[in-house]
Structure 1
Amino acid sequence: MTLQLAAPAVRPASWLGGRWVRFAVRRTGRLLVSVWVLATAAFLMVHAVPGDPVRAALGANAPASLVEAKRASLGLDRPLLEQYLSFLQGLVTGDLGSSIVTQVEVSETIRTGLPGTLTLAVAAFVLAVAVSIPLGVGIAVLTRRGRARRTEFAFAGTSVVLGTIPDFLLGVLLVYLFAVELQWFPVAGRSGPESYVLPVIALAAGAVAILSRIMRVEMLAVLEADYMRTARAKRLSPLRTYLVHALPNAVTATLTIGGLLLGGLVAGTVLVENVFAWPGLGGTLVRSMLGKDYPLVQGIVLVYGVLVLLVQTLVDVLLALLDPRSTIGDS
């Protein structure tokens, strides 16, 4: 008697592997194309700004010969297409050029300011997730089946206000109340753990409003599922019912949106950093835009864009790992 391996046992594995390869190739290709589009947009954007960056850097009284020599050394006297190709070549080799104003390499400026920006964005993301998940679960339990209508209205109104108020405006209000009037926290700068409190709250407030509302809606749907009725019929403790049976099934959508919001938090640091004089890339970007510092603007805009694209790609990969069926559309 001979044993034969069943063919279906092999096909799913090979099919899954092939699907994952196609998924990885497609996501990688999409990321590279997006980076190229982003780089092109950054290049064209800064060159569309009126004014002469060299004249702005050297001053209005600089001799014309010095201005022309500086423009030639930076390659700004060449045709736009040649400047664009040189810019792309620099991206491939990792050479982003030097600042017109400070003469410091753009990569060095980014290396100095990026940690401050990332720590601020990550801290805001952690706070948003840590607050929104238990808040959404609690509000869902309290307001289930039309109960506690006042609590529901108060939650809805507060979340709408926090979700619509601009980050920088909330930051100004927080500075005035808690730093100037009450003097509980520093007005600006990064001098210790207490200096993170106000900028992180300003940056995370909108994300908390969005994620907590999503968490509430998902939790309400899960609480009415058949398996939750079974769990309650078994007289399980409320803690076990909500945390073990309900939360894992309700949190997926919240984490998915949260991952996408992380990219928005990174971009949102630009204004928040300027409100709190935070030592990151946001303040440098604003100053370089005002000074028409082409290489620095291009480099920082590109870094912000690539970070957002990487976060979105990471979210896609995590979703595919959690639910391989999500890759079917990419097969």
Structure 2
Amino acid sequence: MLNYFIKRLLGMLPTLLIVAILVFLFVHMLPGDPARLLAGPNADNTVVAMVRHQLGLDLPLPQQFWHYLVRLVQGDFGQSMASQRPVSQEIASRFMPTLLLTLTSMAWSCLFGLVIGIASAVWRNRWPDKLGMIIAVSGISFPAFALGILLMQIFSVQLGWLPTVGADGWRNYILPSLTLGASVAAVMARFTRASFIEVLGEDYMRTARAKGLSARKVIFKHGLRNALIPVITMMGLQFGLLLGGAIVVEVVFNWPGLGRLLIDSVESRDYPVIQALVLLFSCEFIVINLVVDLLYAWVNPTIRYR
């Protein structure tokens, strides 16, 4: 297991290098001149040229990338063009709200999705199954921004129960987490249902029922562990999508997280922040996939890695 873990960590390096190259080229293809934005609309060409030189944007692209890569290896993500603060500080100040929002959304959506998926599989083609799949299809079909606006209109504007913006307390997490986790819960329910139906048809499940074991023991002791293996893969991917894809929800609720920071950075052409955020999101996906692979061995002890 340890050798497998080390090999996977070393295998991350080429992937991160490719991502760094693609991100660097992408951000430099964005329209607009960050030097002009920072200098202001009334600045003349001389001032704009001075700002561009201070930012190093007057250097050839290969030289800019080399400087960026050297700083990256040293753990230096550069300085934000907009705030003049280190990029690491900008990201650190926004990371926890996004992480907590993602964990909250993932917790309730996984629990809700698993319950609906198992119930739909056990009572297949009966009313719990039909009701659960109607809820799942609704969750997938409803856009996140529309759901967020609808929840704000009902629970904040009309009823006045919950706040609409900010991350000051636990009540602020309710509406954003419901908006962010709705599609994940729907996907979890459908995926769990399909996996559980396949497991319920296996020979060892019929043998367990023939031995006179209770339905609860058959489902949760013999079926759940095997059904969770493909579900864990999907959970890991969904967690990565939530962590890196909460942009729409953070914009709707004006959430002080990484998604909001990315939007602001794109608008101001803040190259260092954009590059660091996209690289961080890519690294998160790689680490999550590694954690998912290790969870396989915990869920099913017969799985071994070399």
Q: TM-score, normalised by structure 1?
A: 0.85
Q: CA deviation at 1:290?
A: 0.7
CA distance 1:197–1:129, shift in 2 (3 Å): same
Determine whether 1:191 maps to 2:191: no
SS in 1 for 2:164: coil
Structure label with greater radius of gyration: 1
- Size of the aligned set, in residue pairs, is 306
**Equivalents in 1 of 2:217, 2:265: separation in Å?**
54
**Equivalents in 1 of 2:285, 2:265: separation in Å?**
21
Q: Which amino acid aligns with 2:252?
A: V
**Equivalents in 2 of 1:271, 1:302: separation in Å?**
19
Q: Which runs of 5+ in 2 are unaligned?
A: none
**Equivalents in 2 of 1:266, 1:321: separation in Å?**
24
**Equivalents in 2 of 1:164, 1:39: separation in Å?**
34
The residue number in structure 2 matching 1:90 is: 71
**Equivalents in 1 of 2:268, 2:302: separation in Å?**
50
Q: 1:267–1:304: 8 Å Cα contact kept in structure 2? A: yes
1:309 pairs with one of 262, 286, 289: 286
The residue number in structure 2 matching 1:152 is: 129
2:49 pairs with one of 68, 74, 98: 68
**Equivalents in 1 of 2:128, 2:74: separation in Å?**
57
Q: 2:247–2:260: 8 Å Cα contact kept in structure 1? A: yes
The residue number in structure 1 matching 2:225 is: 248
Q: CA deviation at 1:112?
A: 0.6
Correspondences of 1:1-331 after superposition (within 5 Å): 21=3, 23-24=4-5, 26-143=7-124, 146=125, 148=126, 150-319=127-296, 322=299
**Equivalents in 2 of 1:229, 1:301: separation in Å?**
48
Q: 2:226–2:300: 8 Å Cα contact kept in structure 1? A: no
Q: CA deviation at 1:69?
A: 1.6
Q: 1:270–1:282: 8 Å Cα contact kept in structure 2? A: yes
Q: Name the stretch that deviates more: 151-160 or 61-70.
A: 151-160
**Equivalents in 1 of 2:297, 2:213: separation in Å?**
32
Q: Which amino acid aligns with 2:60?
A: P
**Equivalents in 2 of 1:166, 1:58: separation in Å?**
38
Q: 1:97–1:295: 8 Å Cα contact kept in structure 2? A: yes
Q: CA deviation at 1:110?
A: 0.6
Q: CA deviation at 1:71?
A: 1.3
Q: Which amino acid aligns with 2:18?
A: V
Q: CA deviation at 1:87?
A: 0.6
Q: Deviations over 1:305-327 (max 9, x none)?
A: 22122112222233356558767
**Equivalents in 2 of 1:93, 1:229: separation in Å?**
58
Q: Deviations over 1:134-178 (max 9, x none)?
A: 2211121122xx4x1x44334333312312333223222221222
Q: CA deviation at 1:276?
A: 0.8
SS in 1 for 2:91: helix
Q: Which runs of 5+ in 1 are unaligned?
A: 1-16
**Equivalents in 2 of 1:320, 1:84: separation in Å?**
40
SS in 1 for 2:31: coil
SS in 1 for 2:160: coil
Q: Which amino acid aligns with 1:95?
A: D
Q: 2:95–2:258: 8 Å Cα contact kept in structure 1? A: yes
**Equivalents in 2 of 1:57, 1:162: separation in Å?**
42
Write out the 4+ residue segments of structure 1 that deviate beyond 3 Å after TM superposition: 23-26, 150-154, 320-328
SS in 1 for 2:165: coil
SS in 2 for 1:132: helix
Query: Could you tell me the percent identity over the aligned residues?
Result: 35
SS in 1 for 2:42: coil
Q: Deviations over 1:237-278 (max 9, x none)?
A: 332232222222222221221112111111221211111111
